[in-house]
Amino acid sequence: MLVPVLAVAFLNEAISVSAIVGIVVIVAGIYTVSWWGNFRLLIYHPLSLFSNPSTRYAILTGLTIATYTIVDKSGVAHVQPFLYMYLMTLGSAIGLFPYILWKHSLRGIGQELRSNSVGISVAGSLTFLAYGLVLTAFSISKVSYVAPAREIGIVVTVLIGVLILKEPFGTGRLLGSGMIVAGLILIATSP
């Protein structure tokens, strides 16, 4: 919910009413999937949520993601998305290399690369491609629409949990997943 607010404030994006409703429905769906069964506690003691360190870290993570999402949207306005991703990855690698070298030594790094070269290559390539596609979406659409749409991953995760891990698919997961999909449809059909 923070990304659309920041996009309006810092990027001067305009959001249609149907997209606002879609964003709110997605956020409500996320809360439904996450907090189903705890709504009574949240209604009567809403601040008790912040006593849990996990929640505080989740909020900090959300603020960080919202910030870098706005920065990324601004970045791809000036540089082609995959070049932006390449430069960002190169900068991160250069910046982190001294720490990794200090922590694991050159020999340890070489051993890790030899032992897991296929996994490292596949994971790195898929990560690069996935975020490159997100950046491409940022360059052709409003970040206010793209960022909430990325939450469809929650629905995919619920499906993996049910189909592969044989987790129960309770009412909260079903309702929350349906809300996320409905919100995504509202955003996709927004002007």
Q: Longest C-alpha distance within the chain, in Å? A: 57
pLDDT tens digits in sequence order for the chain, 191 residues long: 678 888 888 888 888 898 889 888 888 888 787 777 676 777 777 777 677 788 788 889 889 988 999 999 999 999 999 999 999 999 999 999 999 999 999 999 999 999 999 999 999 999 999 999 999 999 998 888 888 778 778 778 888 888 899 887 778 888 888 898 898 888 888 87
Shortest CA distance to 30 belongs to which of 188, 181, 190? 181
Query: Could you tell me the sign of the dihedral formed by the alpha carbons of 11, 13, 19, 24, in that order?
Result: positive
pLDDT at 72: 95
Is the separation of the CB atoms in 151 and 26 below 8 Å? Answer: yes
> What domain count does the chain have?
1
C-alpha dihedral (6, 70, 15, 9), degrees to nearest 10: 30
pLDDT at 58: 81
pLDDT at 1: 67
Say how far apart CA 156 and CA 161 lie, in whole Å. 9
What type of residue sits at position 36? W
Query: Could you tell me the sign of the dihedral formed by the alpha carbons of 76, 79, 83, 89, in that order?
Result: negative
State the angle between helix axes of 171-188 and 152-163 in degrees (0 to 180), rounded to the nearest 10.
140
pLDDT at 4: 82
Token pair in block for residue 20: 């606002």
pLDDT at 173: 80
Q: 168: domain range?
A: 2-188
Burial of 29: CB neighbours in 10 Å, binned 0-12, 13-18, 19+: buried
Contacts of 119 by beta carbon, 8 Å cutoff, 6+ apart: none
pLDDT at 138: 93
DSSP per residue, 24-52: HHHHHHHHHHHHTT-HHHHHH-GGGGGGS
Residues in the chain: 191
